[in-house]
Structure 1
Amino acid sequence: MYLKCVMRRPRAVVGLATLFPAVILIGCSDLPSPTDASLLAPSASAALSKGGSDHAGAIVAHDACDPATFNAALNDPTACMKEGHTAFQDFIGELVATQTARAWRFNPLQATTHAGENLLAQNVGGETHTFTPVHQFGGGFIADLNGISGNPVPAPECLNFPALDFVASGEKSLISGAALAAVAVNGVAKVECCIHPWMRAEVRIK
């Protein structure tokens, strides 16, 4: 199964000190479906099938997408699966104005784990998110969101589609201790969403 990614590119219009984005439809390449079981790393799938207890802590993804406007704008009835209060146009407008959408965030921003331990990745938002360990924070795989969020250079890990773990609304996965250790610098690993690259957290490994 494949997910057709359709985003809208904002064109900022400044007037009376207010930024009003106009949007034009563009397309992007087919990406793996977030519901495809093959996207879960084997260790994550195995642990979650046992109840998800093989982890030391958690990073939780939040967002506030409004299903009616997000699903219409993205031409996908499953783009936003939970009631939120932010319309798609307002989401784009906030990104254009501030390079972030505050309701789209990881919590906590700083987590702690022990060497070799996994972290739970939990998505309580309405959109799909990734929890991708990266060497350095950067952009994701959607060029338009990279541009308006001030992250023009993608993190290389976000372009490695076969390795990305797409976590759908209401779902859980695991961030492996090995993956965190592989990107850690001075005992700190970075984790970001490769769809919404301003969603970031740091994990201190003891």
Structure 2
Amino acid sequence: MSSRFTIRRSVTALALGAAAAASLVLAAPAAGAAGPQAKTMRLLDQCDIETFNATFGDGFCVKDGSVTVDRFTADLQRGGSGAWWINNRKETIDAGDSLHVVNQGGILHTFTEVKTFGSGVVPPFNVAVDNAPTAVKPDGSAVGFGDIGSSGVGPGSPGLDVVPAKGVHQYQCIFHPWMRTVVTVR
């Protein structure tokens, strides 16, 4: 048998195999069309590297934004900095869907589930929420620094995946308590 015949036969077999595989793919339902979906929630801030790192230490802010520490502090008196936020104040998803939380800012944030919104763990920042009582988690305990391990999302990290049960869920950053969102799972 000539090598030309063997090559032609192999190419023909590969083409037939590819055509069969393509017909299976085309006949299959679209991936994820009826299955669970992932909704991306973005945590954002605009920390100015120079002033934030000079105030809080090298590496505190890793992505240069336009808000200086002085402006951030002044903004606390007006309900928190509008440059610190979660992209969706309200979101509705279906049961089984997930939330993929990413930090597109320059400093650490959390996406902590709370039963009641309230103050966070940095007392000077709580003036932004009128020094409300400390936020309470669904289990009835107050938010604390221990929540960073389960709900902290660092800048540039792979993110945090959350699959909430049916019902209404509230999330806030325990550092920046005006960063809040309500997620309804239907």
Q: Tell me the distance in 2 between the aligned counterparts of 1:103 and 1:147.
A: 17
Contact 1:146/1:153 (<8 A) preserved: no
**Correspondence 1:170-189 to 2 at 5 A:** 170-177=156-163, 180-181=164-165, 187-189=167-169
Aligned mate of 1:71, from 50, 53, 57: 53
Task: Kindly provide the amino acid, as one letter, of the partner of residue 159 in structure 1.
Answer: G
Max radius of gyration: which structure?
Answer: 2
User: How far apart are residue 175 of structure 1 and its match?
Assistant: 4.1
Q: Which has the higher helix share?
A: 2
Is 1:198 matched with 2:183? no
1:91 — aligned with what? Answer: 72
User: % of aligned pairs identical?
Assistant: 32
1:161 — aligned with what? Answer: 146
**Correspondence 1:1-206 to 2 at 5 A:** 56-74=38-56, 76-96=57-77, 98-157=78-137, 158-159=143-144, 161-162=146-147, 164-177=150-163, 180-181=164-165, 187-206=167-186
Task: Kindly provide the amino acid, as one letter, of the partner of residue 146 in structure 2.
Answer: F
Task: Kindly provide the amino acid, as one letter, of the partner of residue 151 in structure 2.
Answer: D
Using structure 1 for the length normalisation, give the TM-score: 0.64
Give the SS at the match of 2:40. strand
Q: Tell me the distance in 1 between the aligned counterparts of 2:69 and 2:129.
A: 15
Q: Deviations over 1:31-63 (max 9, x none)?
A: xxxxxxxxxxxxxxxxxxxxxxx8620110111
Q: Tell me the distance in 1 between the aligned counterparts of 2:169 and 2:128.
A: 25
The alpha-carbon distance between structure 1 residues 160 and 90, as it changes in their structure 2 partners (threshold 3 A), is closer
Unaligned residue ranges in structure 2 (runs of 5+): 1-35, 138-142
User: How far apart are residue 170 of structure 1 and its match?
Assistant: 1.7
Q: Tell me the distance in 2 between the aligned counterparts of 1:168 and 1:105.
A: 15
Give the SS at the match of 2:159. strand
The alpha-carbon distance between structure 1 residues 55 and 69, as it changes in their structure 2 partners (threshold 3 A), is farther
Unaligned residue ranges in structure 1 (runs of 5+): 1-53
Q: Which has the higher strand share?
A: 1
